Amino acid sequence: MGNTLTKQFRVHRFLGLAVCHSGNVDPRRLEHYTYTFWTAEMDGLLLRGGFKHCLVAPQLPIYVSSKEPVSVGADNTAGSMADGKAKSVYVDVAILLPVTEPRFPEDIGAIGPLVAGKSLAHFFDEVLPKNWELSPRCVRVIGLQAPLLAELKRIPPRHSKTATTFHHNLIHLLNLACQQAKAQARCLFASSAFARQDRVILVAGAGDYYQVCIVTREWAIERLDGFDDLDEDDLEEIFATAIKNGAFIEKLEDKDLADEYKNIIGHPRRIREQIEERDARYVQRCLKREALQNRLAPSSPTGPNSDHSRARFSDEELGSVHRQTEDGVELFEVQSAQTFFTQSESAVWSRLLRLGTSKSNDFMEKIQDIIGEFEVKEETRRKKMKFANAL
């Protein structure tokens, strides 16, 4: 099973990258095709881990509502009300774990006697596998957890003529993805739907290159400390109700950051369009600079980059450019996955990783382990949640 999955996802990744590099099918260079093979990567994590309760969720909306303060009861359930004015962001690809509770046996029809007095874990392990036709209304979804959020950008320029151009564009795209991923995490911790969650894995990707980070609820709280002079319609109303499970945060950090939050939460579509416009202008400047360099360069081929038909520069070429740019700093991750994740809750991004490399595989295994912790915790909770006895 493991080897079959490995071969399957290698082919899937290769074909996804082939589409991303094809100007015939993606003339506008949209990021949509990046989702194709990243969705498979997320599927692979779940299948290899044998996870039964997590879902891959493309374009996951995270809503933040100020209509009702979060109310967390003894069973750690978050109360909420329908709010047509709730603010939202959309995560490109996420891993989602629904949190459920039993309904009363008399409300679920003929299956009631089979589950009366039994645990929710018994329902999922014993009853559901023999009764797949059951309505999902046998259980109530009372919240969500998202072990992983991925903000994805399009692949860097398909046919860059120099490693320097490719590197600059790659770093620019990843920086944008990192900023947006952390903003999405702050929204997650401010959403009543995710009131049970205390940490989240973030992935910022551009094509098959990516970085990872883990942030916590405490980090989100610290990011909101110090702000003041906020209007009723500002962040205090949008964010503070949920980050501390209902306690309002009176002070926030600086007005510029507050404005940033407001823009990202209040106008996600407009902000995304502005980012894409800036991104496009940046790429055009790079292309113009590259064209000028080519006119001034010798006509005879020199060096390994003279083959312009290649779709990828080697890791060493990109690393060399980065070391020159950043005073010797390595571009690709040098720590082991074990070392990085031991210190993982510091909200620091890893260095660059590339899907398919041994280093990336090690990191994905650790990510898989963390997702497994979410599943184990939910399974443990389900053993304590019991259907009522039949009337």
Report the distance separating Cα 46 and Cα 138, nearest Å.
24
Is residue 302 situated within a structural domain? no
Is residue 390 situated within a structural domain? no
Is residue 58 situated within a structural domain? yes
Query: What is the Cβ-side half-sphere exposure of residue 31, based on CA atoms within 13 angstroms?
Result: 24
308, two tokens: 């312009």
Q: Is there a contact between 215 and 181 (Cβ–Cβ < 8 Å)?
A: no
Is residue 165 situated within a structural domain? yes
pLDDT at res. 155: 83
One digit per residue, pLDDT tens: the chain, 391 residues? 445 566 776 777 778 777 777 777 777 777 777 888 888 889 888 988 889 899 999 999 988 776 644 433 334 444 455 666 667 788 999 999 999 998 887 778 788 888 888 898 998 888 888 888 888 888 889 889 999 999 999 888 777 788 888 899 999 999 999 999 998 998 898 888 888 899 999 999 998 899 999 999 888 877 665 444 333 344 444 454 444 433 222 333 344 445 544 444 444 445 556 666 766 776 677 777 766 666 665 543 434 443 434 447 888 999 999 998 888 889 999 999 999 998 766 789 999 999 889 999 999 999 999 999 999 999 999 999 888 886 6
Q: Is there a contact between 308 and 159 (Cβ–Cβ < 8 Å)?
A: yes
Q: Is there a contact between 161 and 48 (Cβ–Cβ < 8 Å)?
A: no
Which residues span the domain enclosing 72?
2-294+313-384
Is residue 391 situated within a structural domain? no
For residue 325, CA distances in Å to 65, 81, 82, 315, 385 come to 43, 51, 51, 15, 56
pLDDT at res. 37: 81
pTM score, whole prediction? 0.74
Is residue 263 situated within a structural domain? yes
Is residue 244 situated within a structural domain? yes
Is residue 149 situated within a structural domain? yes
Phi/psi for 13 (5° steps) reads: -65, -45
Strands of the sheet containing 55-64, edge to edge, are 55-64, 87-102, 139-153, 199-206, 209-216, 353-354
Q: What is the number of domains present in the chain?
A: 1
